[in-house]
């Protein structure tokens, strides 16, 4: 039978039994082998539930961005070396067990994964309902089936298939709105020293935490109890080209949701990192989509994100520290973030940018001749030409070739831990028609070569026709300087040489409940035009920054055509290290002077 | 370090981490490999919890007696080809997952397994507490963590790691005494047609069964909900010699608890097939100890059995049907019970007995020259001499060499489904100082070549100084003709040639709540002496057999020296097909005439 123009291969013909709860891993492996002998194969999962355990899966070493190195990774559905393959889930749910990477696409092109849900019976984060909160204790109702737990030495220890993991942080979500409770986030919801409690099981599924907590969550609210490392992605796409993910519900993952690395052209449509019907909040484990060192076009459209424990979307490169100049055209470089190492950072012919560490200025370009790994953390790079004069150990290198264009359109960023969308790529970026209900900044444009080493500077960003809801930035998180936060990590910003360029924020609806709407640092060519600002009332203002718009060390800023309601907080524009001559403010916009 | 005179090998030195919940299977495998290079090795589990999944285990084909053939079996701790090994659990608990055989001893001698507990997080039988029982429905509270379940088409379906299994039968245990509720057992506790209910989840862990049940269990009672096949043993001992199991708690298994086949000398001390602290009733899945086709001495001492879904102890051979006489000394034979096939039934030099099918008479003996498998179900046997005259297809063959002596001493047979102790071996049998609280017959001496084909005739059995409690035989089960039931399956018993011989029941305490204390069929040389009978009141008498002692087709029976209380029911002796001249009853015993 043909489907979508290709030859159908059914997993059920290779031993997979829907709804049987038996391990489908080996059957899917055999079906994929059969796909190799087929023209334009369509791997079909007849509708049902399929379960996967690491037994009979693949083990392979992968260095996955922002993921704990627990190699080898354990792979369930492993798509390697395919040229043309459609995985047709047919509305099936793939349920995973233990710690495992559900779907891996490696060294392939023209691969589409569609129409399926990914879930875990026993997720690697837990959720609880607050049953009581008194001066002396808090009672948590924890579903014993989804979140098995024991008490060890007075601490809650979650257990699952092949793992045991101590509770280590908490996020409070409103029981009705299912949004992160304002003012909590990284500030916590149990007060300082909360770990000094003594846990006790009162009755099956009811855990009492004995302590006079500095802060208490509200009865009926949902407490996400984080534990476990992020050690596998949900869908991992590496060294591939023309990969599409469509109509996929990611209800859980053992780390990031969808992670793409060194891949050209990625299309993600109707990918929903949201809780399964069995849960209220917990969905994927950490980020929703992370795109690291890709190129071509990254399109994310019509997706939904809720209940993640980190940013829904993060598009970035990986800059590396120059450790040593062995010769004018030979450098030893080092990966600087412990969860982003071991990758093949560059290929012959790649263009690279040299970044001076203190100012974050790109001081020159180069072309890669060869890259040789030294160990997991460092490699030697040979350049076609000598490195620019003045480059020295401590400066950084950015790969400009692996920098995609990005379109983020029509997505819903509901309430998650941390921010909504992070983007740092020199490619063309279009962010339009999205709805943000993020508890931290809705959009962060960072770029740094000092901490996360997630390069790089942006050069062309349009943010238009989005809605930034009243709950945006309601809790404190790192980088949360405004609803939109442009915040490169620059130790000594130089206004003469801004880091980011050409950012246009136009025709958006902002409903700020607090002061800061836009914070921009070290940007050149920044437009804030034709936006509508009305006062939101989702939370009490708390932010230390009492300015609606802040421009720090910026050049060529234009603010015009905006409609600002009278009760918007601040209605002011604050300049820090930015000459007033660099800021043009249009007439009739109701800004306070 | 030396321990017990041997060289210590610690599983923790090979990667096992106690209490980590990580899969210890591979580490224990490596540690056992190290034991092979060691003199008198002691494999030590430093005290803790160790988890085992089939991943990294062994797969091997085994034909296990009374076990579903789902080959290959999946093995966790696999002790093969050892001459001298001690497994020292140090008080550890080994927790198994999915369906797997915890400990396998194959082709080894001088192996001791001691000081450990075997359990499952998610047992393969479930238990529920009856929360409500009305005219229209029954509500069951089912621990979601230990017994995960879903409803499919209105039926309760239990789920676990790698399996999904429909509820298929129920056993009711009293919530206070934890004994099988009298009058239920194989008669059922939900009435006829109970499967025609509609199940619904009312709230997490609370399942409602909609139906006007013919019979309703009592609120507060425990309902064991049976599902799943018996597909692996807990401890499997095959083709070995001098094996000991000491201080082992078997809290669960995927089938029989301890199964020994074709093994010489088995010592079992303080082996407890009892519920774990996390459960009230469910322990091992089916039989506690099954000894099939062994020889030498089988000693079972100081053990406890509670909550099993089949007989605590069953010692038997496997007789086979003669299908064809190929030549006077060449027979084709067939395994007759679908769960007992594929074994190597005999070895050169084994003595066999020929059993005439209708009368079950042993009509002659022979010696095996060779055995050749034909397929899983049949084999050809070559004899040293021609088979006795008159032997024809349909008759049976018994292996007399693989018939052990048996001592069962000081054990506690608490409430389980079915009987207490089954024994059918021509060897010397001593059953003494045990306590029986069995819900069916306490002791069954069967022997048949017609149904289960569990040979054979006994020749020397002493049953002395045991206590048979008031609950014995309180529910109807197959073969439940008396507290002691001597019931060979003989289509046409011939009193001139009884099947069993030389059974002495002496100096025991019986507390019968119902009439039948002893039923004996086709026994020659049967003594019932110096026993004490007092009236029990654990249940209302229900048994159709209104006789205290019944002798059917027996010879040389003696009943004397017993003390029988006035209120013991019946106090009568009934003879069926037994000439009165074959029964000697001593004086002053209070039997009614």
Q: Does B51 touch chain A (CB under 8 A)?
A: yes
Distances (CA, A) of A255 to A68, A228, B67, B529: 9, 9, 41, 73
Identify all chain B residues contacting A163, using CB atoms and an 8 Å cutoff. 21-22
DSSP, residue by residue, B412-455: EE-S-SS-SEEE--SSEEEEES-EE--SS-SEEE--BSSSS---
Nearest CA in chain B to A20: B164
Contact yes or no for A143 and B204 at CB 8 A? yes
Identify all chain A residues contacting B22, using CB atoms and an 8 Å cutoff. 162-164
Burial B527-549 (b: 16+ CB within 10 A, else e): bbbebebeebebbeeebeeebbb
Q: Does B144 touch chain A (CB under 8 A)?
A: yes
Contact yes or no for B145 and A21 at CB 8 A? no
- How are beta strands A83-96 and A109-120 bridged, if at all? parallel
Residue A531 near residue A463 (C-beta atoms within 8 A): no
Write the CB contacts of A286 (distance below 8 Å, at least 6 apart in sequence). Answer: A66, A230, A253, A255, A256, A257, A308, A309, A310
Identify all chain A residues contacting B160, using CB atoms and an 8 Å cutoff. 21
Min Cα–Cα distance to chain A from B398, Å: 40
Contact yes or no for A20 and B159 at CB 8 A? no
Q: Does B48 touch chain A (CB under 8 A)?
A: no
**C-alpha to C-alpha distance for A184 and A195, rounded to whole angstroms:** 16
Identify all chain A residues contacting B21, using CB atoms and an 8 Å cutoff. 159-160, 162-164
Identify all chain B residues contacting A51, using CB atoms and an 8 Å cutoff. 162
**C-alpha to C-alpha distance for B263 and B109, rounded to whole angstroms:** 9
**C-alpha to C-alpha distance for B87 and B90, rounded to whole angstroms:** 9
Q: Which of B17, B19, B53 to mutate to test the interface with A (most CBs of A within 10 A)?
A: B53
**C-alpha to C-alpha distance for B407 and B428, rounded to whole angstroms:** 8
**C-alpha to C-alpha distance for B483 and B558, rounded to whole angstroms:** 18
Query: How many contacts, defined by CB atoms under 8 Å, are there between A and B?
Result: 56
Q: Which residues 173-212 of chain A have a CB within 8 Å of chain B?
A: 204
Q: Does A388 touch chain B (CB under 8 A)?
A: no
Write the CB contacts of B483 (distance below 8 Å, at least 6 apart in sequence). Answer: B436, B441, B442, B443, B468, B472, B473, B510, B512, B516, B517, B518
Query: Given B51, B54, B143, which is nearest A204 (Cβ)?
Result: B143
pLDDT, one tens digit per residue, over B35-52 is 999 989 999 999 999 999
Query: Given A21, A55, A163, which is nearest B55 (Cβ)?
Result: A55
Q: What does each of the 593 residues of chain A score in pLDDT, given as a tens digit?
A: 444 568 999 999 999 999 999 999 999 999 999 999 998 999 999 999 999 999 888 999 998 888 888 889 999 999 999 999 999 999 999 999 999 999 999 999 999 999 999 999 999 999 999 999 999 999 999 999 999 999 999 999 999 999 999 999 999 999 999 999 999 999 999 999 999 999 999 998 999 999 999 999 999 999 999 998 889 999 999 999 999 999 999 999 999 999 999 999 999 999 999 999 999 999 988 999 999 999 999 999 999 999 999 999 999 988 889 999 999 999 999 988 766 677 788 899 999 999 888 877 888 999 999 999 998 889 999 999 999 998 999 898 999 999 999 999 999 999 999 999 999 999 999 999 999 999 999 999 988 656 667 767 899 999 999 999 999 999 999 899 999 999 998 878 888 889 999 999 999 999 999 999 999 999 999 999 999 999 999 999 999 999 999 999 999 999 999 999 999 999 999 999 999 999 999 998 899 86
Q: B203 forms bridges with which residues in the sheet?
A: B206
What value does the mean pLDDT take over residues B396-405? Answer: 92
**C-alpha to C-alpha distance for A139 and A141, rounded to whole angstroms:** 7
> What pLDDT, on a 0 to 100 scale, did the predictor assign at position A55?
84
Is the predicted pLDDT of residue B552 greater than 80, yes or no? yes
**C-alpha to C-alpha distance for B439 and B473, rounded to whole angstroms:** 5
Contact yes or no for A23 and B160 at CB 8 A? no
Contact yes or no for B21 and A148 at CB 8 A? no
Structure tokens at A444: 């962060």
Nearest CA in chain A to B51: A162
Contact yes or no for A53 and B164 at CB 8 A? no
Nearest CA in chain B to A99: B22
Distances (CA, A) of A270 to A173, A249, A254, A406, B276: 25, 8, 21, 16, 47
Given pLDDT bands bounded at 50, 70 and 90, which one contains residue B344?
confident
Residue A451 near residue A519 (C-beta atoms within 8 A): no
> What pLDDT, on a 0 to 100 scale, did the predictor assign at position B1?
41
Q: Which of B16, B18, B21 to mutate to test the interface with A (most CBs of A within 10 A)?
A: B21
Nearest CA in chain A to B55: A55
Q: Which of B54, B99, B162 to mutate to test the interface with A (most CBs of A within 10 A)?
A: B162
Query: Given B54, B55, B145, which is nearest A148 (Cβ)?
Result: B145
Nearest CA in chain B to A158: B21
Query: Given B51, B54, B143, which is nearest A55 (Cβ)?
Result: B54
Q: Helical H runs in A483-583? A: none
Structure tokens at B74: 């999946």
Given pLDDT bands bounded at 50, 70 and 90, which one contains residue B2?
very low
Min Cα–Cα distance to chain B from A228, Å: 13
Q: Does A144 touch chain B (CB under 8 A)?
A: yes
The number of beta carbons lying within 10 Å of the beta carbon of residue A220 is 12
Contact yes or no for A53 and B55 at CB 8 A? yes
Q: Does A53 touch chain B (CB under 8 A)?
A: yes
Q: Does A161 touch chain B (CB under 8 A)?
A: yes
pLDDT, one tens digit per residue, over B92-108 is 999 999 999 999 999 99
Query: Given B55, B97, B145, which is nearest A144 (Cβ)?
Result: B145
Residue B151 near residue B142 (C-beta atoms within 8 A): no
Q: Does A48 touch chain B (CB under 8 A)?
A: no
Strands (DSSP E) found in B477-522: 484-486, 500-506, 509-510, 518-521
> What pLDDT, on a 0 to 100 scale, did the predictor assign at position A359?
78
Distances (CA, A) of B419 to A342, A348, A554: 63, 77, 87
Nearest CA in chain B to A149: B145
Structure tokens at B269: 């001390």
Given pLDDT bands bounded at 50, 70 and 90, which one contains residue B449?
low
Q: What percent of chain B has pLDDT over 70?
A: 97
Among B313, B484, B509, which Cα is nearest to B414's?
Answer: B313
Phi-psi region of A587 (alpha: psi -120 to 50; beta: other; left: phi over 0): beta
Contact yes or no for B21 and A163 at CB 8 A? yes
**C-alpha to C-alpha distance for A379 and A517, rounded to whole angstroms:** 41
Write the CB contacts of B361 (distance below 8 Å, at least 6 apart in sequence). Answer: B355, B494, B497, B499
pLDDT, one tens digit per residue, over B454-509 is 767 899 999 999 999 999 999 999 899 999 999 998 878 888 889 999 999 999 99
Q: Which of A120, A164, A206 to mutate to test the interface with B (most CBs of B within 10 A)?
A: A164
Query: Given A21, A161, A164, which is nearest B97 (Cβ)?
Result: A161
Q: A574 forms bridges with which residues in the sheet?
A: A550
**C-alpha to C-alpha distance for B462 and B501, rounded to whole angstroms:** 11
**C-alpha to C-alpha distance for A459 and A406, rounded to whole angstroms:** 12
Nearest CA in chain B to A24: B162
Min Cα–Cα distance to chain A from B173, Å: 22
Identify all chain B residues contacting A144, using CB atoms and an 8 Å cutoff. 143-145, 205
DSSP, residue by residue, B8-75: EEEGGGGT--TTS-SB-HHHHHHHHHHHTTSSSEEEE--SSEEEE-STT-EEE----TTS---SSEEE
**C-alpha to C-alpha distance for A439 and A308, rounded to whole angstroms:** 11
* pTM of structure: 0.86
Contact yes or no for A144 and B144 at CB 8 A? yes
Contact yes or no for A162 and B204 at CB 8 A? no
The Cα angle at residue B214 between residues B212 and B218, in degrees rounded to 5: 90
**C-alpha to C-alpha distance for B254 and B188, rounded to whole angstroms:** 23
Q: Does B563 touch chain A (CB under 8 A)?
A: no
Query: Given B55, B144, B164, which is nearest A145 (Cβ)?
Result: B144
> What pLDDT, on a 0 to 100 scale, did the predictor assign at position B553?
93
Q: Which residue in this structure is represented by tokens 């017959």?
A: B441
Q: Which residues 88-107 of chain B have a CB within 8 Å of chain A?
A: 97-98
pLDDT, one tens digit per residue, over B105-161 is 999 999 999 999 999 999 999 999 999 999 999 999 999 999 999 999 999 999 999
**C-alpha to C-alpha distance for B132 and B141, rounded to whole angstroms:** 9
Write the CB contacts of A147 (distance below 8 Å, at least 6 apart in sequence). Answer: A122, A123, A126, A127, A128, A158, A225
**C-alpha to C-alpha distance for B545 and B567, rounded to whole angstroms:** 17
Helix (H) or strand (E) holding A26: helix A25-35
Q: Does B145 touch chain A (CB under 8 A)?
A: yes
């Amino acid at each position: 039978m043909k489907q979508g123009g290709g030859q159908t291969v059914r997993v059920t013909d290779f031993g997979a039994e829907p709804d049987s709860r038996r391990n489908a891993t080996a059957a899917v492996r055999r079906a994929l082998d059969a796909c190799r002998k087929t023209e334009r194969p369509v791997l079909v999962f007849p509708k049902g539930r399929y379960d996967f355990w690491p037994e009979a899966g693949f083990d392979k070493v992968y260095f996955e961005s922002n993921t704990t190195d627990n190699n080898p990774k354990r792979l369930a559905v492993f798509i390697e070396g395919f040229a043309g393959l459609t995985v047709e889930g047919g509305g099936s749910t793939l349920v995973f067990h233990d710690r495992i990477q559900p779907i891996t696409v490696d060294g392939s092109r023209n691969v589409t994964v569609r129409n399926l849900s990914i879930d875990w019976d026993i997720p690697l984060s837990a959720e609880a309902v607050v049953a009581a909160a008194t001066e002396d204790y808090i009672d948590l109702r924890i579903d014993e089936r989804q979140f098995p737990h024991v008490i060890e030495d007075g601490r809650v220890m979650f257990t699952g298939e092949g793992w045991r993991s101590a509770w280590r942080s908490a996020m409070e979500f409103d029981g009705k709105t299912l949004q992160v409770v304002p003012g909590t986030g990284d500030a916590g919801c149990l007060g300082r020293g909360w770990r000094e409690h003594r846990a006790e099981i009162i009755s099956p599924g009811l855990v009492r935490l004995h302590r006079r907590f500095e802060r208490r969550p509200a009865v009926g609210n949902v407490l996400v109890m984080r534990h476990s490392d992020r050690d596998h992605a949900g869908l991992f796409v590496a060294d591939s080209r023309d990969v599409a993910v469509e109509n996929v519900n990611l209800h859980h993952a053992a780390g990031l949701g969808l992670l793409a690395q060194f891949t050209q052209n990625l299309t993600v449509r109707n990918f929903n990192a949201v809780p399964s019907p069995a849960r209220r909040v917990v969905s994927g484990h950490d980020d929703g989509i992370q795109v690291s060192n890709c190129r071509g076009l990254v399109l994310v459209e019509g997706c939904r994100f809720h209940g993640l424990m980190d940013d829904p979307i993060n598009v970035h490169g990986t800059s590396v520290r120059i450790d040593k100049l062995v010769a004018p055209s030979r450098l030893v470089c080092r990966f600087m973030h412990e969860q982003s190492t071991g990758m093949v950072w560059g290929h012959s012919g790649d263009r690279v940018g040299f970044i001076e560490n203190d100012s974050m200025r790109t001081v020159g370009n180069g072309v890669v001749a060869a890259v040789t790994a030294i160990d997991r953390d460092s490699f030697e790079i040979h350049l076609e030409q000598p490195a620019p004069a003045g480059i020295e150990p401590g400066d950084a290198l950015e790969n400009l070739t692996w920098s995609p264009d990005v379109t983020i359109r029509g997505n819903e960023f509901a309430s998650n831990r941390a921010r909504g969308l992070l983007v740092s790529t020199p490619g063309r970026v279009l962010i339009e028609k999205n709805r943000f209900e993020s508890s931290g900044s809705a959009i962060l444009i960072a770029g740094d070569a000092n901490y996360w080493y997630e390069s790089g500077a942006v050069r062309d960003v349009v943010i238009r026709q989005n809605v930034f809801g009243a709950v945006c930035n309601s809790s404190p998180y790192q980088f949360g300087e405004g609803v939109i936060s442009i915040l490169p990590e620059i130790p000594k910003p130089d206004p003469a040489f801004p880091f980011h360029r050409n950012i246009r924020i136009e025709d958006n609806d902002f409903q700020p409940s607090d002061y800061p709407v836009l914070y921009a640092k070290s940007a050149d060519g920044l437009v804030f035009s034709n936006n509508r600002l009305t006062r939101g009332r989702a939370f009490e203002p708390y932010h230390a920054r009492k300015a609606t718009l802040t421009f720090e060390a910026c050049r060529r800023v234009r603010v015009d055509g905006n409609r600002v309601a009278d009760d918007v907080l601040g209605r002011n524009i604050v300049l820090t290290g930015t000459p007033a001559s660099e800021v043009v403010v249009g007439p009739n916009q109701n800004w306070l002077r």
